[in-house]
Chain A
Amino acid sequence: AQTVTQSQPEMSVQEAETVTLSCTYDTSESDYYLFWYKQPPSRQMILVIRQEAYKQQNATENRFSVNFQKAAKSFSLKISDSQLGDAAMYFCAYREFSFFDNNDMRFGAGTRLTVKP
């Protein structure tokens, strides 16, 4: 089964600075999707960004961008100009591409991000 690894249980960043959260995954497939979700203290999971494996261009959403290295099976999240509201648990997730089957979304264990004022 595909696995997703987040090697940083906790990270901290100074407000307005940049931080990068790491994620690696294990798969033998060539088509898949990768996601970053944010879980603030309210505990609702919020989609931050999505990357399609067959697209070489890294996804970007405002202050959030990814560094997708397909050969290395790496999918890091960069948060620029960090804000206090970015403090949350961040989960990396993987989902295999299929037209027919509902494929389970595999989640990493999460990285807790603290933003210091």
Chain B
Amino acid sequence: DGGITQSPKYLFRKEGQNVTLSCEQNLNHDAMYWYRQDPGQGLRLIYYSQIVNDFQKGDIAEGYSVSREKKESFPLTVTSAQKNPTAFYLCASSIGPGADSPLHFGNGTRLTVT
């Protein structure tokens, strides 16, 4: 079955360490996204990518980095510069960048930094 796989489901890191969250899709979608979800704030866009080797910052990109070397993969690195990294992270994809393309989401990764 086609879908989006995020791994791991839970991730624990010490403060000051970089950590990379994995996102893989086999839907053949061009566009991919990373969102952060905090209680009471809905979802906020971190980064998005329309095509391979291209990506743009969202509203809260500071302290994060991404790469898009393959169409199927869009890993997110949470760097030590991110001041409040503990959150639930959702990866999504869509057929194209158009507004009518709904987002398909992975199951998310819960990151806890202590």
Given A32-B99, A95-B99, A109 contacting B41 (CB threshold 8 A): yes
Q: Give the residues in chain B near A91, CB-CB below 8 Å.
A: 42-43
* Structural contact, B58 and A101, CB atoms closer than 8 A: no
From residue A53, how far is it (CB to closest CB) to chain B in Å? Answer: 10
Choose among A9, A45, A102 the residue that contacts B31 (Cβ–Cβ < 8 A): A102
Q: Give the residues in chain A near B33, CB-CB below 8 Å.
A: 105
Closest 5 CB pairs of A and B: A102-B97, A107-B42, A45-B105, A95-B99, A107-B43
From residue A31, how far is it (CB to closest CB) to chain B in Å? Answer: 8
* Structural contact, B42 and A110, CB atoms closer than 8 A: yes
Q: Give the residues in chain B near A44, CB-CB below 8 Å.
A: 105-108
Q: Give the residues in chain B near A102, CB-CB below 8 Å.
A: 31, 48, 50, 56, 97
* Structural contact, B90 and A45, CB atoms closer than 8 A: yes
From residue A5, how far is it (CB to closest CB) to chain B in Å? Answer: 10
Residue A64 lies at the interface, judged by CB distance under 8 Å to chain B: no
From residue A109, how far is it (CB to closest CB) to chain B in Å? Answer: 5
Give Cα A109 to B58, complex, Å. 18
Residue A96 lies at the interface, judged by CB distance under 8 Å to chain B: yes
Residues in B lying within 8 Å of A, measured CB to CB: 31, 33, 40-45, 48, 50, 56, 58-59, 88, 90, 92, 97-100, 102-108
Give Cα A50 to B104, complex, Å. 13
The secondary structure that dominates the A interface is loop
Number of residues of chain A lying within 8 A (CB) of chain B: 28
From residue A112, how far is it (CB to closest CB) to chain B in Å? Answer: 10
Residues of chain A in range 43-77 having any CB-CB distance to chain B below 8 Å:
43-47, 50, 52
Give Cα A43 to B100, complex, Å. 23
Give Cα A110 to B88, complex, Å. 15
From residue A70, how far is it (CB to closest CB) to chain B in Å? Answer: 16
Q: Give the residues in chain A near B31, CB-CB below 8 Å.
A: 102
Q: Give the residues in chain B near A110, CB-CB below 8 Å.
A: 40, 42
Residues 32-44 of chain A, each 1 if its beta carbon lies under 8 Å from chain B, else 0: 1101000000111
Choose among A35, A52, A101, A108 the residue that contacts B42 (Cβ–Cβ < 8 A): A108
Residue A12 lies at the interface, judged by CB distance under 8 Å to chain B: no
